Structure 1
Amino acid sequence: MEIEFNDPLFEEWTQRALLHAVYGGADFGECLTTAERITDGDRKSWYEEWIKTGDRIFAIGEESRRGGHAVSAREAYLRASNYYRTAYPFLYGAPTDQRLIEAFEKETDAFEHAAALFDPPIEPVEIPYEDTTLPGYFYRVDDSEHPRPTVIATNGYDSTIQEMHFAHAVAAIRRGYNCLTFDGPGQGRPLIKQDLFMRPDWEYVVTPVVDYACSRPEVDPDQIVLIGWSFGGYLAPRAASGEHRLAACIADPGLWDMITAIREMATKLGVAQQAADELPDIDPNSLQPLFEAVESSPELTWTFKQRGLWVHGFDSIIEYLQAMPEYSLTDRAGQIQCPTLITRAENDPLAAFADHLYDALECPKELLQFTAAEGADDHCEMTARTLFHQRTFDWLDGVVAHD
């Protein structure tokens, strides 16, 4: 699906905004007219035009709310939140750009306006974590305190709890599952406003989230499910390897070992095979083809220098590479006890090692493959998210007890 841009990052992020239309996060005309106003490759133009669209749709929400039209207001606020989030990915990096902070605050504010208009309302929550709190939203199926199975959703590298509304929560609630979304270190508000950076031992993040879920009367403590998307396809199974109160785990896609993936990428970019095999403990001069590729490619510059260093709190790509061996499931997969579902989309590069994770699991397990013929071959099955939800929740219904 092509939208408007020659710049591949602009194209990707416009599609990402638009694809949330299926769950009420966008309208086609709003996205397309915004794209038409943006100067291709001009990141200032990108930011300004998505903010303008967000402001315009938020104003519609305000007008509808004042007129007593709760559904119309809620729908407008949701779309505005998505557009505000879309405005700021090209501002990633340290120090955090004030424009990014302002857009994130608009995103959050618009979503919380919408959250209050759901029935029952979506509840913003603060989850105790070490000496601070992590932000989240708790979604109840209905107003009763009857304990129900609950899906906990964990993020990846560049999403927020607001976007996870469209990615996980709507589908869960429709199927009778409560949903608790949260952002951890290196994600959303903890990264943008709390200076909390990504960590590999995600079990120490998820355990206090499970503690919080178990404290709520609406949650059946024996029926808690953890799902992770994008880099969450590493974080969720890593957490499940140490947090054994989970009834099930879903990794979308299944990730295996970051340094192995980076070694493969490095050879494709011209790094000698021997040097790649020795990563990360090598002379940086041996990685010159990698560094040159990052500098010459806007996509790789954004992926590594803007997003990667910022999320992890590092100052250099060498620091980033040196940390990557910690992000591995090679010695953790066998410790996962709960039934686990691994997804793999045909043309998602992050899913390249999903089979490694699946093969290493010793728990009840299943591998779901999504194909180009189904229109579901991209990262996190974004162009066929309803198919993803149908297949994953059908699997989950067979694992988790429903009343």
Structure 2
Amino acid sequence: MFEYFPNNYTWSLAVMSALNRGGQISEIDEACRPLKEVAGVKALHGDQTQQRAWFESWMKVAERVERLGRDDEVAKHPLSAGRKYLRAGLYYLLAERMPSHKDPRRLDAYKRGIDIFGRGLLLRREPVEFVEVPYGAHKLPAIFSKAPVAGRAPCVVHFDGLDVTKEIIYAAVADEFRRRGVSLLIVDHPGVGAALRLLGLPSGPDTEKPAAASVDYLETRSDVDPKRIGIMALSLGGYYAPRAAAFEKRFKCAVAWGAIFDYGKCVSDRIGGRGEPSVPGYAEHVNWVFGCDTIEDTLKVVKQMTLEGVADKITCPLLIVHGENDRQVPLWHAERTYEAAVNSPGRELKICRLADGAAEHCGADNGPLIVDYMTDWAAEKLGGNPAGI
């Protein structure tokens, strides 16, 4: 993986996220260059000076790119404005990723990021709708990306991971799914994005519940084929998607974009200093995601998040993709998931090798390689068109 910060995996991972999702390299360098002197602190426990430095530098670039977009909009150049807004939104969300959730500036950056990203989608005339998925007394914010086909199209429900949002997902995969004739419903489910930040909904083991709500919503749409719905999720989604497919039988396929067989083991290892953290202040972050006050309480929740006794209930095709050099989640999680999913017809384990690329966590070192493979596979399983439409 290209490591802008050789001694800071967490920051380098965020740089690759920007590069894989349309960030402009000179703007990324502008945000990162002032940070080299403070980049050497290991991110596990969180260093407030370091976190503030990242936040302020990325916010500065995001605000400048947004300003340039507004100049384009005033000049009645909406496509140019929209492209800048999409990048600005990405940069705001990457700035927001690093500080403690207790920092009030974080919520402001998040709101600015999703607002300007949404404005960019509209000005670029992307075929999207901003929708809400009814979920008990709440409504989960989502982006519906419509495939350019007549009639009812197949659709993939896409969940997030531990620390990303629907906008980050959209920037990575939506266009490739559309090109293959597959619509996409990207949901901020409990524990992530707006569901966590604006609705206060924590995550938990039973992700089949928001997944079922997502299918319920899709069944109300006249442009979705209810018999061709799949589910996909990345990172912690390597637990979320297989769990949902095991108990929600309306899914016709499932993709684990990075495997997690035993999340309790992952969290225990991370807290113990084994493996790299995806965000700084890891313990505080997982407490927030799972609605707990202490790491001990969080461990009680996440130790329930295992695919042992669950994966064998998956009866639709399952694709597991995992990098052999994943420094967050060891490869055995993917191998155990595959071995346990004995009732999944045509189950597949795709290991991305260092020799080819996409070998880091969720293919962070080469996003297009892993996205191509997953979207081709899903299109084949759901009756889309991997050759393109």
1:17 is matched with which residue? 18
1:219 is matched with which residue? 224
Q: Using the TM superposition, give the Cα deviation of residue 313 of structure 1 relative to its aligned residue in structure 2, in angstroms.
A: 1.3
Equivalenced residues, count: 369
Separation of aligned partners in 2, 1:61 and 1:139: 23
CA, structure 1 residues 106+325, in 2 after alignment: closer, same or farther (shift >3 Å)?
A: same
2:118 is matched with which residue? 112
Instruction: Select 2:145's aligned residue among 131, 139, 142.
Output: 139
Structure 2 residue 146 is the aligned partner of structure 1 residue 125? no
Q: Using the TM superposition, give the Cα deviation of residue 170 of structure 1 relative to its aligned residue in structure 2, in angstroms.
A: 2.0
Amino acid at match of 1:168: V
Separation of aligned partners in 2, 1:308 and 1:130: 24
Separation of aligned partners in 1, 2:296 and 2:238: 24
Instruction: Select 2:26's aligned residue among 18, 26, 29.
Output: 29
Q: Structure 2: 5+ residue runs without aligned partners?
A: 40-49
Amino acid at match of 1:3: Y
CA, structure 1 residues 402+18, in 2 after alignment: closer, same or farther (shift >3 Å)?
A: closer
Separation of aligned partners in 1, 2:286 and 2:301: 11
CA, structure 1 residues 183+119, in 2 after alignment: closer, same or farther (shift >3 Å)?
A: same
Instruction: Select 2:173's aligned residue among 148, 168, 172.
Output: 168
Q: Structure 1: 5+ residue runs without aligned partners?
A: 270-289
**Does the 8 Å CA contact 1:4/1:36 hold for their aligned counterparts?**
no
**Does the 8 Å CA contact 2:180/2:384 hold for their aligned counterparts?**
no
Instruction: Select 1:363's aligned residue among 344, 361, 374.
Output: 344
Instruction: Select 2:317's aligned residue among 310, 331, 339.
Output: 339
Equivalences for 1:374-393 in 2 at 5 Å?
A: 374-393=356-375
Structure 2 residue 378 is the aligned partner of structure 1 residue 372? no
Separation of aligned partners in 2, 1:301 and 1:80: 21
Separation of aligned partners in 2, 1:74 and 1:355: 42
**Does the 8 Å CA contact 1:358/1:366 hold for their aligned counterparts?**
yes
**Does the 8 Å CA contact 1:345/1:371 hold for their aligned counterparts?**
yes
Separation of aligned partners in 1, 2:379 and 2:277: 39
Alignment TM-score, normalising by the size of structure 2: 0.89
Structure 2 residue 60 is the aligned partner of structure 1 residue 79? no
Kindly provide the CA deviation profile for residues 167-220 of structure 1, in whole angstroms up to 9, marking residues without a partner as x: 221221122111110111110111112111011100011101111111111111
Separation of aligned partners in 2, 1:402 and 1:312: 36
Separation of aligned partners in 2, 1:71 and 1:151: 28
CA, structure 1 residues 156+207, in 2 after alignment: closer, same or farther (shift >3 Å)?
A: same
User: Aligned with 1:91: secondary structure?
Assistant: coil
Instruction: Select 2:292's aligned residue among 302, 314, 335.
Output: 314
Amino acid at match of 2:81: A
1:40 is matched with which residue? 38
Q: Using the TM superposition, give the Cα deviation of residue 31 of structure 1 relative to its aligned residue in structure 2, in angstroms.
A: 0.2
Separation of aligned partners in 2, 1:332 and 1:181: 24
Separation of aligned partners in 1, 2:252 and 2:309: 21
Q: Using the TM superposition, give the Cα deviation of residue 339 of structure 1 relative to its aligned residue in structure 2, in angstroms.
A: 0.8
Q: Percent identity?
A: 29
Separation of aligned partners in 2, 1:13 and 1:378: 13
Q: Which stretch of structure 1 is more off in the superposition, 363-372 or 65-74?
A: 65-74
Amino acid at match of 1:17: A
Q: Using the TM superposition, give the Cα deviation of residue 261 of structure 1 relative to its aligned residue in structure 2, in angstroms.
A: 4.0
Amino acid at match of 2:20: L
Structure 2 residue 210 is the aligned partner of structure 1 residue 205? yes
Kindly provide the CA deviation profile for residues 137-175 of structure 1, in whole angstroms up to 9, marking residues without a partner as x: 111123x66110112110011000110112221221122
1:304 is matched with which residue? 282
Amino acid at match of 1:40: V
CA, structure 1 residues 298+152, in 2 after alignment: closer, same or farther (shift >3 Å)?
A: closer
Which of the pair is proportionally richer in helix?
A: 1
**Does the 8 Å CA contact 2:98/2:279 hold for their aligned counterparts?**
no
CA, structure 1 residues 402+323, in 2 after alignment: closer, same or farther (shift >3 Å)?
A: closer
Instruction: Select 1:190's aligned residue among 169, 181, 195.
Output: 195
Structure 2 residue 74 is the aligned partner of structure 1 residue 66? yes
CA, structure 1 residues 370+218, in 2 after alignment: closer, same or farther (shift >3 Å)?
A: same
CA, structure 1 residues 120+261, in 2 after alignment: closer, same or farther (shift >3 Å)?
A: closer
**Does the 8 Å CA contact 1:17/1:83 hold for their aligned counterparts?**
yes
**Does the 8 Å CA contact 2:10/2:279 hold for their aligned counterparts?**
no
CA, structure 1 residues 301+110, in 2 after alignment: closer, same or farther (shift >3 Å)?
A: closer
Q: Which stretch of structure 1 is more off in the superposition, 254-263 or 197-206?
A: 254-263
Q: Using the TM superposition, give the Cα deviation of residue 303 of structure 1 relative to its aligned residue in structure 2, in angstroms.
A: 5.2
Greater Rg, structure 1 or structure 2?
1
Q: Which stretch of structure 1 is more off in the superposition, 150-159 or 118-127?
A: 118-127
CA, structure 1 residues 311+30, in 2 after alignment: closer, same or farther (shift >3 Å)?
A: same
Separation of aligned partners in 2, 1:19 and 1:301: 18
Alignment TM-score, normalising by the size of structure 1: 0.86
Kindly provide the CA deviation profile for residues 253-297 of structure 1, in whole angstroms up to 9, marking residues without a partner as x: 12211234456x38xx9xxxxxxxxxxxxxxxxxxxx4xx59xx9
1:282 is matched with which residue? none
